Chain A
Amino acid sequence: MNAAPAPASASGPALSLAAIGRRLDELAADPSRAEAGELLCFGEAVLEHWARARGHEPTDGRREGFRLLALHRQGADQDPSFNACRETCRELAWHYNLLTLEPADAERLQRQRMMTLVAKHLYLFVSGKMETQKLGEFCCSSRPLRTRVDSGDGAGSE
């Protein structure tokens, strides 16, 4: 990760998830209008929603130059299932670099298209997870290895 990302978007109230979803749908229909900075900010805004929903103040820190990656790290704290969007965040940062470092590249439109779909995946994953969090773990792969029931009186601990 070697490009300086766009300024963090956290100064004002975050866009609603629904508004982000609508905008991403518009951009997916016409990716030539997609700007790397805007898409990165959407990614950050989605993760801010997740942090706030869990009662945390979204971090302003950065990892590898990206606030997005710091927000992901914050989101996965005490919730390893959130790691299922780890690579999605990294792909978003990667496409941001591609688009900002090589703005005139022949692949620009394709990169805009892919970055939009990656951002949309992050939006769908996080908003879906928020919607269903009361139903249990969203991602079956990353259940915390030692949960409360694990040290309690589950059947295996009888």
Chain B
Amino acid sequence: MSENDPKSQKYREVAYYPGCALEGSGHAYNRSTKALGKALGLKLKEVDNWNCCGAMEVKNIDPKLQTYLSSRVMSIAANTMKMDTVMAPCNGCYHNLKKAEYELSTDEKSRAVTERLSQKAGHATYRAGQVETIHALDWIREAIGEDGLKARVKNSLQGVKIANYYGCMYTRPRHIFPEKDQGPASESTSKPHFMDDLLAAAGAENVDFPLKTACCGGAHTLSDSDTSTKLVANILQAAEAAGAEVIATECPTCHSGLEMHQIRAERTLGLKTSVKIIYFTQLLGLALGLSPRKVGLHENVSDSFAYVKEKGLA
């Protein structure tokens, strides 16, 4: 992808939808995404007065209400802010906006409910196709590309061994991601590689990690913590067995789950793992010469300060 490419130009200024998690437990992801964008000369215009995407709670009770909630975010971006692209770094938000887009383009009932609720709420109804929803991985990969990133690296990630963990929501279900699986240049739903590509461009050594899209048990962290802990413990062990020193994440739910259950696994299962859990935006920010504080490393639960120092990244 060249930076002169029309898609690259299009993604240089996007509507930014952080979502609830990035204002709370995933604040480090919010901070590092903004810092990375700034360092790369990309503009983020936060969606005005955005609301929850419907997450899993609303979706499980009333999927059409979730479709409406996600559509409102896209409506503000399209009709109020006149933007054509919404970038959502959170896998849950990204997934739900894509799902709403799919529903609104294929289901008459969903369109009718969204129309009615939008009128009640007093804003323009979102029409399928008005905006394109992308993930932070698409954003960096398309706007800057691997070559562009390589050219900007100040502190190479050389010697940083990474297991890239995408979680379950970034690729599933396949039919809501029509742009994926469209050849080698597109993202794959079975073997995603965008994060691998970006981190490799920054010099990192990606390990072969067979659980990159495995479920972390995030949805049951509260209702069935033991299952979540065991699932996470196995993912951490697999990453270490694959030779990784770092698990790179791109989802705040997965990230928090890995961090919290890493501690819980040590306490409840006696299983100590030392693999660091770091957002890919933090790793890329460090590679571009940003300070650990600037990318919010201090906001992570997993303490990786000594590690990044040892690798010459701080």
Kindly state the interface size class of chain B when it binds its partner.
35 or more
Give the distance in Å from the alpha carbon of A150 to the alpha carbon of B99 in the complex.
14
Give the distance in Å from the alpha carbon of A87 to the alpha carbon of B210 in the complex.
9
**B191 closest partner in A (C-beta):** A87
B60, B107, B109, B234 — most chain A CB neighbours (10 Å): B234
Cross-chain pair count, CB within 8 angstroms: 134
Pick from B64, B168, B211: contact of A141, CB below 8 A. B168
* B interface with A by C-beta (< 8 Å): 56, 59-68, 91-92, 95, 99, 102-103, 107, 109, 113, 117, 168-169, 172-173, 190-191, 210-215, 217-220, 223-224, 227, 230-231, 234-235, 237-238, 241-242
Pick from B56, B211, B224: contact of A121, CB below 8 A. B211
B172 touching A142 by the CB < 8 A rule?
yes
> In the complex, what residues of A have CB within 8 A of residue B66's CB?
156
27 A–B pairs (Cβ distance < 8 Å), ordered by A: A84-B215, A85-B215, A90-B190, A114-B238, A117-B210, A121-B214, A121-B238, A124-B227, A124-B230, A124-B231, A125-B214, A128-B230, A131-B224, A132-B220, A135-B220, A138-B220, A139-B215, A141-B95, A143-B60, A145-B63, A145-B102, A149-B61, A154-B61, A154-B64, A155-B62, A157-B64, A157-B109
* Number of residues of chain A lying within 8 A (CB) of chain B: 43
B63 touching A150 by the CB < 8 A rule?
yes
Shortest distance between the CB of A154 and any CB in chain B (Å): 4
Give the distance in Å from the alpha carbon of A154 to the alpha carbon of B110 in the complex.
12
B223 touching A135 by the CB < 8 A rule?
yes
> In the complex, what residues of A have CB within 8 A of residue B241's CB?
110, 113-114, 117
A140 touching B214 by the CB < 8 A rule?
no
Q: For the complex, would chain A's binding face be called helix, strand, loop or mixed by DSSP majority?
A: helix
Give the distance in Å from the alpha carbon of A149 to the alpha carbon of B61 in the complex.
7
Indicate whether A83 reaches chain B with its CB closer than 8 angstroms.
Answer: yes
Known contacts: A140-B219, A156-B113. The answer to whether A87 contacts B214 by CB under 8 A is: yes
Shortest distance between the CB of B190 and any CB in chain A (Å): 6
Indicate whether A22 reaches chain B with its CB closer than 8 angstroms.
Answer: no
A156 touching B68 by the CB < 8 A rule?
yes
B65 touching A140 by the CB < 8 A rule?
no
Interface residues as binary, A146-158 with B (CB distance below 8 Å gives 1, 0 otherwise): 1101110011110
Shortest distance between the CB of A127 and any CB in chain B (Å): 8
Shortest distance between the CB of A133 and any CB in chain B (Å): 11
Indicate whether A49 reaches chain B with its CB closer than 8 angstroms.
Answer: no
Indicate whether A55 reaches chain B with its CB closer than 8 angstroms.
Answer: no
